[in-house]
Amino acid sequence: FGCNTVQGVLSHQLERNVIDGEKVIASKVDPENPESKVEFEFDQNEVYAIDIVMSSGEGKPKEFEQRMTVFKRDMESTYQLKMKASRAVFSDIKERFTSFPFTMRAMDEKKAKFGIRELITHQLVQGYPVLQEKDGEVVAHVKFTALLMSSGTVKIAGLDVDLSQIKCDKEIKDEGIKKILATAVSKKKKKRRNKKKKKKDAEAKEEAKKEDGGDKDS
């Protein structure tokens, strides 16, 4: 179809205050990333952040020489910061963002730019590098949150893709794949009659029987 899965993209299990849990789904096996080869079983009531990234190029983006502006605190690292500015920035991060990612725009940028350096040097925060595909190529990214229920998989967050707005000169011809794509993600809920309605119906039937018996006796 003229596109490739972007290498290095991982879909993580979500837990309370944790956005990168132990269980990881790799979009594509990466020889350089051991996490992409680990096999595991899904369990009921687990939650996953699903990332799907496709490229019209090779699907092997390179780190772009641009300073990182999005970071996440490393909850396992500790260090006694020396600079006052660094301590102020780290205190702000712990108070406002805890274990979640944050952008420098959400802080006082002048102070943050100065104070974040010591945090990066001593690995108190992890940066999200800017990746770039080759010039002229197109990258598409779809992200959503999925909850694994006994009744099926439920999408609980993420924008819907309006397929009517997408035009493509490619067409799926394999009937087996078409059948899979047409399958509903969630199981259809069985219709349950209201308990009160059932009780009323039963009482009405009983009353009708009594009336029929009375008519026969007369």
Q: Could you report the per-residue pLDDT of 111-126, keeping only the tens digit for each?
A: 888 899 999 999 999 9
Task: State the Rg of the chain over Cα.
Answer: 28
CA 129-133-138 angle, to 5 degrees, is 125
pLDDT value at residue 102: 93
Which phi-psi region, left, alpha or beta, contains residue 20 (left: φ > 0; alpha: ψ -120 to 50)?
Answer: beta
Q: Could you report the per-residue pLDDT of 152-194, keeping only the tens digit for each?
A: 889 988 888 787 888 888 888 889 988 887 876 655 555 555 5
pLDDT value at residue 45: 93
Instruction: Name the percent of the chain lying above pLDDT 70.
Output: 84
Q: Whole-model pTM above 0.95?
A: no
CB 128 within 8 A of CB 72: yes
Nearest to 126 by CA among 162, 93, 82, 83: 93
User: Residue 137 and residue 172: Cα distance in Å, rounded?
Assistant: 23
